[in-house]
């Protein structure tokens, strides 16, 4: 899981310091200009939030491997984005978590139909049905196309 914590907090997981001060070149570090403008009240949190997501979208064009490496790590274990701010709600570490959470969803394929198997009279849980196991994102349209391809007498 990806989580956020203060720099002084003890955490049970991998710590990634994403402050511009300690980790200047980190893909999730903000820019000094943004940080200072926010601290000096030249921009609002809403503006900072928007600037951060724009900056991250720009960086993702060339540094997606770094983002994906963190997402993959967070699939396996608890990873904490660390910053100095006292409040998660107004800290880029929370925004960085949102980006990683989104990426984790994209990286983890839906392997089974949720719920009951549509091919076996809804008796078998889809997780236990090999016909339901597609290994890719599975939609109702895909289910229907498979249903048509198969001999109905098999079910
Ligand atoms: Zn912060």
pLDDT digits (tens, 9 = 90+) for 30-50: 999 999 999 999 999 999 999
pTM of the predicted model over 0.85: no
Q: Which residues pair with 79 in a beta bridge?
A: 2, 14
Residues lower than pLDDT 50 in the chain: 111-113, 133-155
> Which residues are placed with Cβ below 5 angstroms of ligand 1, an ion?
83, 85, 91
Residue 105 alpha carbon to ligand 1 centre in Å:
24
Residue 155 alpha carbon to ligand 1 centre in Å:
56
Does 138 lie in the same domain as 98? no
Say how far apart CA 51 and CA 49 lie, in whole Å: 6
Does 103 lie in the same domain as 28? yes
Residue 25 alpha carbon to ligand 1 centre in Å:
16
> What are the CA-CA distances from residue 117 to residues 52, 108, 112, 142 (Å)?
43, 21, 9, 13
- Which of 88, 107, 126 represents a domain boundary (last residue)? 107
Total domains in the chain come to: 2
Domain span at 10: 2-107
Q: Can you give the pLDDT at residue 149? A: 47
**CA angle (68 as vertex; 65, 70 as ends), nearest 5:** 115
């Amino acid at each position: 899981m990806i989580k956020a914590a203060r720099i002084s907090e003890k955490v049970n997981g991998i710590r990634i310091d994403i402050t511009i001060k300690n980790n200047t070149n980190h893909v999730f570090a903000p820019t000094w200009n943004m940080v200072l403008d926010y601290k000096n009240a030249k921009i609002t949190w809403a503006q900072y939030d928007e600037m951060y997501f724009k900056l991250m979208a720009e960086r993702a064009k060339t540094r997606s491997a770094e983002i994906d490496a963190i997402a993959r790590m967070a699939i396996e274990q608890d990873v904490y984005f660390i910053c100095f701010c006292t409040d998660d709600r107004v800290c880029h570490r929370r925004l960085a978590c949102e980006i990683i959470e989104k990426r984790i969803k994209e990286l983890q394929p839906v392997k089974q139909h949720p719920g009951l198997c549509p091919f076996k009279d809804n008796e078998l849980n889809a997780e236990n049905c090999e016909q339901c196991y597609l290994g890719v994102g599975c939609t109702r349209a895909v289910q229907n196309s498979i249903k048509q391809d198969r001999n109905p007498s098999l079910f």
